[in-house]
Amino acid sequence: MRLNLLSALNEERKARRAAVLVTDLADGNQRLVRAAEVARDPLAEALDERLRMGKSGMIESGGKRYFLTVQAPPPRLIAVGAVHVSQALAPMAKLAGYDVTIVDPRTAFATPERFPDVRVIAEWPDKVLPDIGLDRYTAIALLTHDPKIDDPALNLALKAECFYIGALGSKKTHAKRLERLAVAGLSVQAARIHAPIGLDIGAVSPAEIAVSILGEIVLSLRKKPLRSEKDRAA
């Protein structure tokens, strides 16, 4: 690998930006395709699929063979709310390969004892999320049922590139949430929210709800959006 390509790849890694090193297997020529450049690349469809799956491998296109070396940041899950659902969700998400952070200003709930082996920040979301950083490999789950805690985090997530934003609450609760977002000028962005949070699997217990949330997060990260989903997000 040429030194300039290695330096560029390292820059993308430090910034938590995905990239793909494309190697032409016929002549060994290499080029780096950054995530923001994928749509304009001749191999766009294959690059997009590999980035979503986070897997390197060989492809054939136009009678030529290429090896795609995928560099994708480890996905993160930020759960706002140190609640029972979060206690079930955190170990599941860690097992699935997510870097998990719990954020909740309520010090009685946000404790290492309740969340072993997980980063816990007992602080208001709008104070710490800018420092943590929200990017396109970040999922955020809003679980407190308290607008004073959830809404500031939601506003930041909607202005960022988080691949998943989910919010706990009934349809009635979400309708009120949408009204508040409209006042804040975020009506268009609100279409990105998964609410009620989680896949509709009939979940009842905190553990079942956690399963439904994690399933929806994985689906959002790995699955290519359907045309209908793209239209709703537009």
Query: Final residue of a domain: which of 71, 96, 116?
Result: 71
pLDDT of residue 1: 73
- The answer to whether residue 169 sits within a structural domain is yes
Identify whether 207 is part of a domain.
yes
Domain boundary residue, one of 71, 90, 105: 71
Judgement on whether residues 126 and 17 belong to the same structural domain of the protein: no
Asked if the structure places residue 144 within a domain, the reply is yes
pLDDT at 108: 95
The values of phi and psi at residue 119, to 5°, are: -70, 125
Instruction: Say whether the peptide bond before residue 105 is cis (omega within 30 degrees of 0).
Output: no
N-terminal to C-terminal alpha carbon distance within the chain: 39
Domain presence at residue 234:
no
Residue 106: which of 159, 157, 158, 143 has the closest Cα?
143
What per-residue confidence (pLDDT) applies to 6? 87
Residue 232 lies in a domain: no
Q: Mean pLDDT in each 10-residue stretch from start to end of the chain (234 residues)?
A: 86 89 93 91 92 90 93 94 97 96 96 95 96 92 94 93 93 91 89 93 96 96 60 47
Q: Do residue 34 and residue 104 come from a single domain?
A: no
Q: What is the DSSP letter of 188?
A: T
Structural domain span for residue 158: 76-227
Give the pLDDT score at 187.
87
Q: Do 163 and 222 sit in the same domain of this protein?
A: yes
